[in-house]
Structure 1
Amino acid sequence: MTDRLAVLTDTGSIKDVPGVRVGHRTIVRHDVRTGVTAIVPTPVPTPERPLPCGLFVGNGHGKLIGSTQVAEMGTLETPIVLTNTLSAFGAADALVGWMLDRPDCADVVTLNPLVAECNDSWLSDIRQRAVTAADVRAALDDASDDFALGAVGAGTGMRALGFKGGIGTASRAVGDQRLGVLALTNFTGHLRLDGRPVEPANTADPEGNSCVVVVATDAPLDARQLGRIARRGVYAMGTVGAAYSHGSGDYAIAFSTRRADDARSGCVREKDLDPFFSATLEASAQAIVSSLWHAETTHGRAGHVAYGLRETLRERGLLDR
């Protein structure tokens, strides 16, 4: 299994899309295991210079702040921030403040922040709302192409498919273009690797499940096409074992780094979208596996434990190292 897992987990990164950076702020203290993650396209999108963006809601049991304007207008006006459920609203305010402080937003009087969340209350005391505006700003300011995976940032307290969840990433080349995915995983189901079931580390089935898949590409795609690509991000969850349960918020956001004005001319033709669909399915599934592979066993509040996939497989004698 070792060689096959290397293939499944060493699959590139969202940073392979030129101009896409990621920043984290990880908060671990007492009963808190939480944080914030920022996906920051560069140049940073603004209301005057937005990026084309589409989204897909597989199950809407979640708080995707800013989603209705993205669906209506097909544009991304800010970086994308990920955090825990009860910190999402404060994170949105902090993102607005960070944007308004920018010189290129000096005349902005309306702004649509895009903030998504997963519920980390099984491992973290979510009621503390531990993520502060300073944490959000730090994640945005520290965004780079060198970022950690697993139990970090927004993924610190997450659990998925019977193991420790968190932040994962993968990418694919589509001709001369690149498509990358970052996943925040916190959903139920039974993990399948290469089509084979993997027995969970424990049988706890916490409430408040969700997954956020963020797809970035430098291909010239419009908002409608990006919405079609986002669908494949949610579909990919099923290929690795998602249960799509009642309490799961299953979301995908897809954006292009080609500015909206540019993407309307010279878009990829509809009949040429199939390679992008395949790339999204593959990279999204592998980003989810990546989130589990890189997450270490985490002890949280109330004695709860989420076991790392790699450690579990090693204990079962399925890994050489």
Structure 2
Amino acid sequence: MESQSPGTGRRARDLGLVIGRIAPGPFNAITDVPGVRVGHATVRRPPSVHSGVTAVVPGGVGPRTPLPAGVFTGNGYGKLIGTTQLAELGTLETPVLLTSTLSAFRVADALVGWMLEQPGCEEVRSLNPVVGECNDGFLSDIRARPVHAEHVRAALGGASGGPVAEGCVGAGTGTVALGFKAGIGTASRTPDVDGRRFTVGVLVQANFGGTLRVLGRTVPPKADDPAAEGETGSCMIVVATDAPLDARQLTRVARRAVFALARTGAAYSHGSGDYALAFGTRPGGAPVADTELGPLFEAVLDGVEEAVLNSLLAAETATGFGGRTVAAVRADRLLADLAAPMETSR
């Protein structure tokens, strides 16, 4: 098991690919939102197992100190554990964990065990763990259910601020998106809202079908690239912000996060579980009026688009279960495709 494992280190901005007009935070990551930490535990047993768990940990979150939150389902073919209570009450009371489909239930149980040991939870008798998943069964032996309690505890215990490892790490170790090897990606924006500056951070677990689009240009896999043909997959999106939004407004933010996948070429197929969860780290404070939400919506749209691209650029070509191989996006080919004149139809 690896607790933290970076990908290739390439990001969209390293290649001069800038999405949108709003500036990112210092790390261009969800951890730019004050108090938010991220941890990974990567589970690899080559050639058959390529899986893991990723934890997004808001500071101080718990059943006695819940945070306002909203959730939006773009396509409900998935297992987002804890959705109904989150939607009903508009509150998040645990970290958000991401993992592999058939491991989600073990991860939820392990999250409950970890939470009950935390200070302030000594008398807790009800808890709503929030765990999302993507199906990494194209590259990993998903039936082995390789993610266990020790991996959950490693991800939670190793969660930190600052730069976030991306690509083939944690819950993104075995994922595939848009015909390429994908994984975990993150980005942030610092919009000005009603004279105040806030931070919006996003983290994606990219595993969905479609044809890659970058800055509006279609970039399909090359004929000689081994690709996951027919993979429908899913995408889990976590959005954090220090803007003082209520649960209804955060649900509107989550909705835009799913919309943003269309910019990247998502197909939103029948078998794709596309979910976004948005939480606020600053309950209370001077509220943001609905009429002032435009910059926050723009920030999350741009952030998700960049996070998906980062998840692809940071990933590496992988060979997994059954000898299947999926190619990573090659930066040189991508830049060449983007520089080529666009074909026009008569």
TM-score range, shorter chain: over 0.9
The equivalences for 1:1-321 within 5 A come to 5-8=15-18, 12-30=28-46, 31-43=48-60, 45-145=61-161, 146-175=163-192, 176-200=197-221, 201-207=225-231, 209-259=233-283, 262=284, 266-310=286-330, 313=333
Q: TM-score, normalised by structure 1?
A: 0.93
Question: Does the residue aligned with 1:65 lie in a helix, a strand or coil?
Answer: coil
How far off is 1:147 after superposition?
2.9
Q: Secondary structure at the match of 1:96?
A: helix
Q: How many Å separate the matches in 1 of 2:15 and 2:259?
A: 21
Structure-2 change in CA distance of 1:105 and 1:114 (3 Å): same
Sequence identity, in percent? 55
TM-score normalised according to structure 2 size: 0.86
CA distance in 2, matches of 1:147, 1:171: 12
Partner secondary structure for residue 275 of structure 2: strand
Matched residue of 2:330: which SS? helix
Contact 1:52 1:221 in 2 (8 A): yes
Q: Answer whether contact 1:83 1:154 (CA < 8 A) is retained.
A: yes
| Contact 2:70-2:87 within 8 A present in 1 as well | yes
Query: Contact conserved, 1:24 with 1:147, CA < 8 A, in 2?
Result: no
CA-to-aligned-CA distance 1:208-240 (integer Å, 9 cap, x gap) = 510011110000000000000000110000011
Q: Give the distance between the partners of 1:94 and 1:8, measured in 2 at CA.
A: 39
Distance of 1:278 and 1:79 partners within structure 2: 25
- Please, what is the CA RMSD of the aligned residues? 2.0
Instruction: Specify whether residues 148 and 3 from structure 1 end up closer, same or farther in structure 2 by C-alpha distance, changes over 3 A only.
Output: closer
> Is the 1:119–1:208 Cα contact (8 Å) retained in structure 2?
no
Shift of 1:299: 1.1
Q: Letter of the aligned partner of 1:91 in structure 2?
A: V
Higher normalized helix content (fraction of residues):
1
My pick for the range that moved more, 303-312 or 222-231, is: 303-312
Report the AA paired with residue 235 of structure 1. Answer: F
- Give secondary structure in 1 for the equivalent of 2:288: coil
**3-state SS, counterpart of residue 27 of structure 1:** strand
Q: Structure 2: 5+ residue runs without aligned partners? A: 1-11, 340-346
The 8 Å contact of residues 161 and 241 in structure 1, kept in 2 or not, is answered as yes
**What is the alpha-carbon distance in structure 1 between the residues aligned to residue 334 and residue 253 of structure 2?**
35
Rounded to whole Å, the distance in 1 between the matches of 2:313 and 2:153 is 28
Of 9-18 and 234-243, the range deviating more from structure 2: 9-18
SS of match in other structure, 2:17: helix
For the 8 Å contact 2:110–2:149, the answer to whether it is kept is yes
Look up the equivalent residue of 2:139 and give its one-letter code.
Answer: L
Q: CA deviation at 1:6?
A: 2.9
* 8 Å contact kept, 2:227–2:325: no
Q: Within 2, Cα distance between the matches of 1:286 and 1:155? A: 16
Runs of 5+ unmatched residues, structure 1: none
Amino acid at match of 1:275: P
